[in-house]
Amino acid sequence: MVPPEGAEKYAFEAEVHRMMDIVVNSLYQNKDVFLRELISNASDALDKFRYLALTEPDTYKGEEEIPLQVKIQYDADEHTLTIRDTGVGMTHDEMVENLGTVARSGTTKFIQSLKESGNDDSAMSQIGQFGVGFYSTFLVADRVTVASKNPRDDAQHVWESENASSSFVVYPDPRGNTLGRGTEITLHLKEDSLEYADPNRLRELAQHYSEFVMHPISLRTTSTMEVEIEDEEEEATPETTEEAKETKGDDGDDEIEVGDDESETEEKPKKTKEVTTHSWDVLNTNQAIWTREKEDISDDEYQAFWQVLAHEATSNATSWSHFNAEGNINFKSILYLPDDLPPTYSYTNMEPVQGALRLYVRKVLIGDEFNLLPKYLGFIRGVVDSDDLPLNVNRETLQESKILSVIKKKLVRKAIEMIRQLAKDSEDEGQSEAEIDEEGNVIETEEKDSRYIAFYRKFSPNIKLGVVEDEPNRGKLMKLLRFQTSKSDGKMISLAAYFDNMKEWQEEIYILGGASAEEIEKSPFLETFRDKDVEVIYLTDSIDEYMLRQVRDHEKKKFVQISSESVKFKDEDEDLIKRREKAYKNTFKPLTKWLRKLYTGSILRVQVARRSLGSVPAIVTSSDFGNSANMERILRAQAFQHGMDQSSFLALKVFELNPRHPLVKKLLDGCPPEEEGDEPFEVAPDILDAAWMLHDMAMLNGGFPISDPEAHNQRL
């Protein structure tokens, strides 16, 4: 770089030069951020001018006529990129001081002066507090030229430096005052950074990082098109009028020369010329509505902003929460519940949707990969914006991880509250209003899901995963669960509604799992509960049983599988049950002993049922410490899918006999005695077949598969 005549050369201090090397080569992991930094600096300069124009009107009189804006211009042929603002600009000394010192930001010094003078800096939403953002330009540029004009300085000055240089120069701009006011930064792009002279790339980056910056950001675009031009009319001449006259043929007759088609005239090709036009396209037309009071924002505006975040012009959000968080750290946020699963969302890992929750500092995007919400809430979209968020110098990671932790806790609480509010608001929805015909009769209409149930059907796995993983918020999440039950007529109800239906003597929450509600309805386990008019919750989702095994109870009421061996009813006479159980145990001891030996390998224990089995001769239940039939089914499927050994997932099965059933009494009469004599007892073939028939029937009644279907069919 050859300094112009009269240029003043300045050397970077030794530590500053080393710092610049760190900034350029180590600090920023993503080159794209240079544009964000320059736009942020430009926005700061515009805010600074607006403030000074109000507080020092005499100094800046007449300057307000220049509009506050940021303009981006590129030259693909010259490999340059220019960012210009109409902010406060810099004087000669300010250029030397601010651009010649890394980590000495003019913004920081300006805010410090406001504090010392007692002025409130809350209105000064400026992001550049570390003074290194400008040097990110050397990530993409070999040389950087800065022209700036401050109203307090008569002349416009230029600052210039090259990448890896230990010095810079400052000199009066030989062009004179071309800016009027503000700063113009020109980057002479490196060979590997020519993509930043492409309008599509610039548009993409500016809209990604700075779409909500308050001041308009315009991109100068160039387009070339072919335009038709009209020929000048040819003047008629005597020669042209004679050409169409008669001509004489070979036979002497007069002939007229006629073309192939008299009616057609030969069309001449139209002439065109290439015209190049330039225009300024505003890139940030969207408003940062989170900065406004929520009372002033309509539902349509919230939905329109949702479509901006989701990049879906036709979808709507189910609900949203707009709030200001105050405390150790202040921030504003809008969170949205989507109407449907995002296209890229997967229940396999429940990874947050890319860009779902964006972190802004004073309306400038810092990032969207901070994982501000746990996995189970990864479907929520929204924005978080803080005016006082501490950032490190590259603005890509936060200085203090504790700050992120505080924000995350508040966001989780607000997200859960938003879902709870949706459930509360839609309690009465889904119930179709009665329609009356002309004769006054009620027209039956199909009931529709409430807004919450429609949401829950799509996102219930997320809530259930939250119940498992988020122990501090487990109680709140449990209240969001909904289940079908044996008395809900196919509707989904809350645990609170289940509690309202509990019997006075009931101390436990009864549950039963299965592949579907229709399958569970057929279970023999429900007979006794129907007889007692006791409600049972249906677990039809593969995560349901796993979730409730982790939870075990809710509001001090234990979850009990009605397919387990330990089901008891507090309304029954316990002494009577024990006496009857003892009598049955002695009476049926020979049968239980023989069947336990016969069923070795598939049954852990054989016993007389403590509960009433109604019309069922026997049933297989699960041990209190084993898997239920439904859980075994799920684990088998998962093991098969991953090629794992399925034997470790087998449930510990208990075979329970109905002492009042004729088939059981017949088996008792035909089984070996408790104490066999010297001669081995021969069991009749029909008794043996009946025993195996009873085994298979009990397995099926309990929801378990039978091990030998072919033998079962032969016995049938």
Using CA atoms, how far apart are residues 97 and 14, in angstroms rounded to an integer? 15
288 has a pLDDT exceeding 50? yes
Give the least confident one: 240-254, 464-478, 573-587.
240-254
377 has a pLDDT exceeding 50? yes
Average pLDDT over residues 481-489: 96
Residue 66, pLDDT score: 87
Residue 143, pLDDT score: 94
Q: Count of CB atoms within 10 A of residue 295's CB? A: 6
> What percent of the chain has a predicted confidence (pLDDT) above 90?
49
Using CA atoms, how far apart are residues 301 and 303, in angstroms rounded to an integer? 5
Residue 313, Cβ density class (10 Å: 0-12 exposed, 13-18 middle, ≥19 buried):
exposed
Residue 427 and residue 493 in contact, taking contact as beta carbons nearer than 8 Å: no
Residue 246, pLDDT score: 45
Residue 234, pLDDT score: 45
φ, ψ (nearest 5 deg) of residue 580: -65, -40
674 has a pLDDT exceeding 50? yes
Q: What is the 3-state secondary structure (H, E, C) of 603-629?
A: CCEEEECCCCCCCCCEEEEECCCCCCH
542 has a pLDDT exceeding 60? yes
Residue 437 confidence class, pLDDT cut points 50, 70, 90 = low
> Among residues 209, 468, 258, which one has the least CA distance to residue 362?
209
Give the least confident one: 55-64, 350-359, 442-451.
442-451
Residue 252, pLDDT score: 46
Residue 626 and residue 674 in contact, taking contact as beta carbons nearer than 8 Å: no
Kindly report, residue by residue over 32-70, the tens digit of the pLDDT. Answer: 889 998 999 999 999 999 888 888 888 788 777 889 999
> Among residues 98, 157, 146, 108, which one has the least CA distance to residue 128?
108
**Domains along the chain with CATH numbers:** 8-220 (3.30.565.10), 289-425 (3.30.230.80), 483-561 (3.40.50.11260), 574-715 (1.20.120.790)
Residue 100, pLDDT score: 76
Residue 19 confidence class, pLDDT cut points 50, 70, 90 = low
Length of the chain: 716
| Higher pLDDT pick, 129 / 281 | 281
Q: Provide CB contacts within 8 A for 265, sequence distance 6+.
A: none
Q: Which amino acid does the sequence have at 172?
A: P
In eight-state DSSP terms, residue 31 is T
Assign 554 to helix, strand or coil.
Answer: strand
Q: What integer best gives the mean pLDDT of the chain?
A: 83
248 has a pLDDT exceeding 50? no
| Higher pLDDT pick, 264 / 215 | 215
Residue 237, pLDDT score: 46
404 has a pLDDT exceeding 90? no
Residue 668, pLDDT score: 94
| Helices 451-469 + 401-425 axis angle, to 10 | 140
Residue 508, pLDDT score: 95
Which residues in 331-356 are b (16+ Cβ under 10 Å) and which e? bbbbbbbbbeebeebeeeebebbeeb
In terms of phi and psi (left: phi > 0; alpha: psi -120 to 50; beta: otherwise), the region of 234 is beta
Give the least confident one: 6-10, 72-76, 172-176, 712-716.
712-716
122 has a pLDDT exceeding 50? no
In eight-state DSSP terms, residue 343 is T
Residue 236, pLDDT score: 45
* Binding-site annotation: residue ranges for ATP: 37, 41, 85, 90, 98, 105-106, 129-134, 183, 395
Kindly report, residue by residue over 551-561, the tens digit of the pLDDT. Answer: 989 999 999 99
Kindly report, residue by residue over 269-279, the tens digit of the pLDDT. Answer: 778 888 888 89
Kindly report, residue by residue over 607-650, the tens digit of the pLDDT. Answer: 999 888 888 899 999 887 778 888 888 887 776 666 665 555 56
Residue 514 and residue 579 in contact, taking contact as beta carbons nearer than 8 Å: no
Q: State pTM to two decimals.
A: 0.78
> Among residues 611, 630, 623, which one has the least CA distance to residue 527?
611
Residue 356, pLDDT score: 85
Residue 244, pLDDT score: 44
Q: What is the 3-state secondary structure (H, E, C) of 623-645?
A: CCCCCCHHHHHHHHHHHHHCCCC
Residue 710 confidence class, pLDDT cut points 50, 70, 90 = confident
* Binding-site annotation: residue ranges: 37, 41, 85, 90, 98, 105-106, 129-134, 183, 395
Q: How many CA atoms lie within 13 A of 538 on its CB side?
A: 23
Residue 365, pLDDT score: 85
506 has a pLDDT exceeding 80? yes
Residue 333, pLDDT score: 97
